[in-house]
Amino acid sequence: MNLHVINTGFFKLDGGAMFGVVPKSIWNRLNPADEKNLCTWAMRCLLIENGNKLILIDNGIGDKQDEKFLSYYYLHGEDNLINSLYHAGFSPHEVTDMFLTHLHFDHCGGGVKYEDDKPALTFPHATYWSNADHWKWATEPNPREKASFLKENILPMKDSGHLKFIDPKDKSPHAEFDIFYASGHSDKMMIPMIRYNGKTICFVSDLIPSVGHIPVPYVMGYDTRPLIAMEEKEKFLMEAADKGYILFLEHDPVHECCTVKHTEKGIRLDRTFALHEIL
């Protein structure tokens, strides 16, 4: 099995929203804000190559939104989804499985494109994976999250006939990883826990967006159930520290991976490194 980092570019979000009640004087040290209080974040995805399977985990924001929408998020950087796939040696037609941790636009927007002003799947031969609870949450959104669930990103998956749901009560349908379910950020977000050469590599999505979010109280203002998010995060991090899990960071603008450790102050960052250093 081989793993490939798929960088889809950077965007900006309000620093206060990203760190909730944590004071700017603290979070600004690790994630410095610009004059508009915006911080830069990565949209880093992961491709699992295993025999005849090619599983992509998340796919970034995409490029089909209009200029007004994209201007809110200041997309920048030289990387994009398709070029990164080609750089890894693959084309979109070769992807067999599109696994979506959740359906916020910065995680699933690249999975649908427009052809002749009509929606089409970016990965036409892939099965798109979600779960029924999260799908209902996304297609019948609460007012707080409605702006993050864009129907043009989501409905074409089902309309295409390529969408399948994972039942949280069942084992993962993918032999390559188990799934940790978390509902503090968004209902039934799925965290793949990949088994690789005796290690466990966890694609932590929005459970832990960056190394700056490792302390348990550092949860985002975007989290719909912050107290539950803290409980889930603490449970996950305790296990990660005990078992030496590697955390693959989707949004950290600098660091691809990290490990965590127990300290007198709780779980804290151990070390950071690029994914290729452990492959």
Kindly give, in sequence order, each residue whose CB lies less than 8 Å from that of residue 68, ignoring residues fewer than 6 positions away.
none
Give the fold, CATH level 3, of 2-277.
Metallo-beta-lactamase; Chain A (3.60.15)
CA dist 189 and 183 (Å) reads 6
189-196/199-203 β-pairing: antiparallel
pLDDT at 115: 87
Instruction: Count other Cβ atoms within 10 Å, centred on residue 241.
Output: 18
Kindly give, in sequence order, each residue whose CB lies less than 8 Å from that of residue 278, ignoring residues fewer than 6 positions away.
199, 201, 246, 257
pLDDT by 10s per residue, the chain, length 279: 999 999 999 999 999 999 999 999 999 998 999 999 999 999 999 999 999 999 999 999 999 988 888 889 999 999 999 999 999 999 999 999 999 999 999 999 999 999 888 999 999 999 999 999 999 999 999 999 999 999 999 999 999 999 999 999 999 999 999 999 999 999 999 999 999 999 999 999 999 999 999 999 999 999 999 999 999 999 999 999 999 999 999 999 999 999 999 999 999 999 999 999 987
Q: At what angle do helices 151-159 and 132-139 cross, to 10 degrees?
A: 130
Based on its alpha-carbon atoms, the radius of gyration of the chain, rounded to whole angstroms, reads 18
Residue type, 164: K
Tokens 């798109």 correspond to: 128
pLDDT at 38: 97
Domain ranges across the chain: 2-277
pLDDT at 71: 87
pLDDT at 139: 97
CA 105 to chain centre: 10
CA dist 33 and 35 (Å) reads 7
Backbone angles phi, psi at 211, to 5 degrees: -65, -25
CA 273 to chain centre: 18
